Amino acid sequence: MTVATLRPALHVASRAPRDRTLLLMVPAWAMLIVMFLVPLTLFFVRTFMEFDGTTAEFIGQAQDLLFSQPYLTALGTTNWIALIVTVTVLLIGYPIAYYLTTAKGIGVRIVVLSIVLPYFTSIIVRTFSWMVLLGEHGLVNEALLAAGLIGHPLPLMYNRLGVLIGMSYVLLPYMVLTLYAAMRAIDPSLMRAASSLGATGFYAFWRVYFPLSLHGVVSGGLIVYILSIGFFITPALMGGQHDIMIAMLIDRALEVAVDWPSAALMSLTLLVVTMVLYAIYYRITDIRRLIGAR
Amino acid sequence: MAMVAELAPPPPPATVRPAAGGSAIELRGLTKRYGDEAVVNDIAVSIAPGEFFSLLGPSGSGKTTTLMMLAGFVRPDGGGILVDGADIAAVPPQKRGFGMVFQNYAIFPHLNVFENVAFPLRARHWAKDVIGERVNWALDLVRLGRFADRDARQLSGGQQQRVALARAIVFHPHVVLMDEPLGALDKNLRFEMQVEIKEIQQRLGMTVLYVTHDQEEAMSMSDRIAIMNHGRIDQVGPPGEIYERPANPFVGRFLGEANMIEGTVTPELGEVARLRLPSGQELRAPRENSCDAGPGMLFIRPERVEIAPGTAVSADPSANALAGTVHRCSFLGKILRYSVDLDGAAPITVDLQNAAGVTPLPVGARVVMRWPVADSLILSGDE
């Protein structure tokens, strides 16, 4: 260290700017800590501290809650709805994203606008819009009745169908944008190469395009699934009494039963599931980078 | 892959035999317009079975568009493409049965080398053991036999090039289209690949349509070259012919260094045409169809011009001679390139082999340049 060589000087020079750029993250970290981590920790700590009883009693009650029928039903419903929404959104979103990557001109702009604009609109506004459309006297039923296609209004809302429609609509942009990013990275000359080598359109899609878009499918699917399992507003407004999702159960524990420990416990399980899924998602995007995708 | 080779029954030799030759291709008045501009303008050419045919031209000359029309990715606005006499206008790309090598190789990144090469065979639903056998044959041909299990993305540019080549020939197409396949390789590797592609083509006897903007590449590989410029074919012929007898000044300049000495073609008739320079001197060339009286230029390649110190211009009837002053001498390794000022005209470039005993002439030296009348060519003045 006493001898001034070039090497340590270079080392310091290359490290200094990186340290300073990290400072840019401080406001974001501060916000995350103050507004998310601290309240979350306090919430859990307080609710568990307020529990008066032994640890064994606490574990027993926690087991009772987590294996109770309402909780298990809500857990099943939540995952089932999340799964169906994810598949629905994938099936609708994949062709849209494909169209966006291949087409040019005014059509693309219209589609992008209609995908992105709702993304910036309040979820409550969007859910109420669907209620106007799907209600018993909503536009869809009125139109079908007027056309003479149905004799009675169809039950489009306050049931599972309403939840699925509403959630799929809200979550579609996440899927489309994720898929679009993945598809943009696919070299278009690969599809040309495939067809020049004798592949039909379907074969080229199935053997070349789809495998290359797969990580986008998985990423988009995980994002939509993660967001789905925490959904509250849409199922609360558009669902029926059999469509209780975990977030709604938590809300009831807080608002109706004023049972904070139960709410905290359910929140914790939801958080853990979300973190696990997020870890998978992170691994996949990480692998994607490793294999050199743009 | 080794497993496939072991499990497969001994290959019947018939299936590994090279393709039975190539197809004849005819372009008839082929035209493509983008808006008002004709990027390919009424081109017509006949390519013989098994011929190595290059489309050579600067970027934007329409050569790639022509290739894409052949491949079926660009729809022609006029004219037709005939393969062995049949119009293929209505045939989609995947049914044309051409092999194709792309500029960026277009290797499938999610498949290994073996699967990349097997792709055209799997797309055709070939039997599994035949696929294994044929892919190994193609990989051996491009000397990638050991790389079958390698991830395609781990390959170097030259190796990717070979995979692309193997993939394009593995199904024994009668026609292979190549779009600047060596453009991304460095110079030494490019030369090596030129030789290999040419050897494979001769072995398999397929027709190759090769697009390039590199004139040396086109000349070293092609049986015939079509020079494209502004969507038209300016000249078609064997490399030697278009190099020695360019149809117009553009072709002459595009294929390499060229002297174009401007003057006026004199109206007298005879076997020898004469070009009068502004200085009053006359140069001669064999009379060909482009020797109409009026403004013109005399074309001579720099390596055909001899240069010697002195001022005396002899009156040898079989040679043109001009006196001048050495303006610059550039050392290019195997040649010395002189720029010689003529008195009152554009300088002439002279290439001299850097052979044993050659000592560079000093700048400012008075020199006489001499070249055979037979190697001279008169071109009309307007390009």
Contact across the interface for A199 and B123, Cβ inside 8 Å: yes
Chain B: which residues have CB within 8 Å of chain A? 71-73, 92-100, 102, 104, 106, 108-110, 119-120, 122-124, 153, 167-168, 171, 177
Q: How many CA atoms, within 13 angstroms, populate the side-chain half-sphere of residue B215?
A: 16
pLDDT at B26: 94
Query: Does residue B251 lie within any of the structural domains?
Result: no
Of A62, A192, A111, nearest in space to B73 by CA:
A192
Which residues in chain B have their CB less than 8 angstroms from residue A207's CB? 119, 122-123
A189: which chain B residues are within 8 Å (Cβ-Cβ)? 102, 104, 106
Do B167 and A197 make contact, defined as CB atoms within 8 angstroms?
yes
Residue position matching structure tokens 């995980």: A222
d(CA B78, CA B58): 23
Domain membership of residue B289 (yes or no) is yes
Helices (H), B156-186: 157-169
Judged by CB atoms closer than 8 Å, whether chains meet at A195 and B171 is answered as no
Q: Of B98, B108, B109, which has the smallest distance from its Cβ to A196's Cβ?
A: B98
Distance CA B83, CA A202 (A): 26
- Tell me, what's the pLDDT at A111? 87
Both B293 and B216 in a single domain? no
The pLDDT tens digits of the residues spanning B200-214 come to 999 999 999 999 999
The mean pLDDT of chain B is 87
CATH number at B363 reads 2.40.50.100
Q: Which two tokens stand for residue B368?
A: 């006489």
What would the pLDDT profile of B67-113 be if each residue is shown by its tens digit? 999 999 999 999 999 999 999 988 999 999 999 999 888 999 999 99
CA–CA dist A69, A115 (Å, integer): 39
Q: What are phi and psi of B28, to 5 degrees?
A: -120, 105
Per-residue pLDDT at A91: 97
Whether residue B346 sits in one domain with residue B201: no
Q: For residue A96, which of A169, A165, A215, A176 has the smallest C-alpha distance?
A: A176
Q: Is there a single domain that holds both residue B68 and residue B12?
A: yes
* Cα dihedral sign, B350-B354-B355-B361: positive
In terms of domains, do B208 and B328 share one? no
Taking CA atoms, what residue in B is nearest to A214?
A: B110
Mark yes or no for CB contact A292/B98 under 8 Å.
no
Q: Does B354 map to a domain? A: yes
Mean pLDDT of B343-367: 84
The structural domains of chain A, with segments of one domain joined by +, span 60-290
CA–CA distance, B311 with B353 (Å, rounded to integer): 22
Q: What is the pLDDT of residue A128?
A: 86
Given a cut of 60, whether residue B20 has pLDDT beyond it is no
One domain for residues B25 and B138: yes
Same domain for B269 and B200: no
Task: List, for residues A79-97, the tens digit of each pLDDT value.
Answer: 999 999 999 999 999 999 9
Residues B87 and B189 in one domain: yes
In Å, how far are A34, A39, A217, A259, A262 from A42, measured between CA atoms?
A: 11, 5, 37, 16, 15
Q: How far, in whole angstroms, is CA A180 from its chain's centroid?
A: 16
pLDDT of residue B239: 95
Which residues in B lie closer than 8 A to residue A200 (C-beta atoms)? 94, 123
Cβ neighbours for B227, distance < 8 A, ≥ 6 positions apart: B56, B57, B233, B234, B235, B236, B242, B250, B251, B254, B255
Distance, in Å, from the CA atom of A46 to the CA atom of A44, rounded to the nearest integer, reads 6
Residue with the bigger pLDDT between A137 and A204: it is: A204
- Are B153 and A190 within 8 A, CB to CB? no
Nearest to B94 among A200, A291, A292 (CB): A200
Do B16 and B107 lie in one domain? The reply is: yes
Look at residue A70 in the predicted model and tell me its pLDDT: 87
Neighbours of A147 (CB within 10 A): 8
pLDDT of the residue at A228: 93
- B69 and B132 share one domain: yes
- Please enumerate in sequence order all residues whose Cβ is within 8 A of that of B32, keeping only pairs 6 or more positions apart, or say none: B38, B39, B40, B62, B65, B66, B69, B74, B76, B77, B231
Q: Which residues pair with B323 in a beta bridge?
A: B368
pLDDT over 60 at B383, yes or no: no
Can you give the pLDDT at residue A227?
Answer: 92
The pLDDT assigned to B43 comes to 93
pLDDT, tens digit (0-9, with 9 covering 90-100), for B182-196: 987 888 888 889 999
Residues from chain A contacting residue B110 (CB–CB below 8 Å): 208, 211-212
Q: Report the 10 Å Cβ neighbour count for B83.
A: 20
Residues 6+ apart with CB under 8 A from A82: A224, A225, A228, A229, A231
Residue B324 lies in a domain: yes
User: pLDDT grade, residue B223 (50/70/90)?
Assistant: very high
Residue in chain B closest to A188 (alpha carbons) equals B106
What is the distance between the alpha carbons of residues A180 and A117, in angstroms, rounded to a whole number? 16
Looking at chain A, the number of H-run helices and the number of E-run strands are 15, 0
Minimal Cα distance from B107: which residue of A?
A190
Number of domains in chain B: 2
Last-in-domain residue among B244, B266, B298: B244
Asked whether B197 and B121 are in contact (CB, 8 A), the reply is no
* Residue B61, domain CATH: 3.40.50.300
Chain B contacts of A198, Cβ < 8 Å?
Answer: 94-95, 97, 120, 123-124, 171
Among A132, A129, A130, A153, which Cα is nearest to A141's? A153
Find the closest chain A residue to B109 by CA distance: A212
> What is the pLDDT at residue B120?
95
Chain A residues whose C-beta is within 8 A of a chain B C-beta are 187, 189-190, 192-201, 203-204, 207-208, 211-212, 291-293
Q: How many residues does chain A have?
A: 294
B168: nearest CA partner in chain A: A197
pLDDT over 50 at B240, yes or no: yes
Assigned domain for B250 exists: no
- Tokens representing B109 are 């990144």
Q: Please indicate whether, in this complex, the C-beta atoms of B168 and A197 are within 8 angstroms of each other.
A: yes
Nearest CA in chain A to B98: A196
Asked whether the beta carbons of residue A196 and residue B71 sit closer than 8 angstroms, the reply is yes
With an 8 Å Cβ cutoff, are A199 and B119 in contact? yes
* B252 domain residue, yes or no: no
In this prediction, what percent of chain B has a pLDDT beyond 90?
Answer: 54
The yes-or-no verdict on residue A291 having pLDDT over 70 is no
| pLDDT band per the 50, 70, 90 thresholds, residue B12 | very low
CATH of A60-290, one of 3.40.50.720, 1.10.3720.10, 3.50.30.30, 3.30.70.1230: 1.10.3720.10
Domain that includes residue B353, residue range: 257-380
Phi, psi (deg, nearest 5) at residue B211:
-105, 130
| pLDDT tens-digit map of B46-63 | 999 999 999 999 998 999
- Say if residue B275 is in the same domain as residue B196: no
Say which amino acid occupies A89.
Answer: V
> How many other C-beta atoms are found inside a 10 Å radius of the C-beta of residue B53?
21
Please report whether residue B279 resides in a domain.
yes
- For B268-289, the pLDDT digits (tens) are 777 888 888 888 888 888 887 6
The arithmetic mean of pLDDT across residues B207-229, rounded, is 94
Task: Please report the pLDDT score of residue B224 as a whole number.
Answer: 96
Residue B180 included in any domain: yes
Predicted confidence band at B6 (pLDDT cuts at 50, 70, 90)? very low
Q: pLDDT tens digit string along A225-265?
A: 999 998 888 888 888 888 888 889 888 888 888 888 888 88
Look at strands B99-101 and B175-179 and give their pairing: parallel
What is the distance in angstroms between the Cα of A111 and the nearest Cα belonging to chain B?
26
Whether residue B53 is found in the same domain as residue B186: yes
Identify whether residues B239 and B216 lie together within a single domain: yes
Using the predicted structure, report yes or no on whether residue A183 has a pLDDT greater than 60.
yes
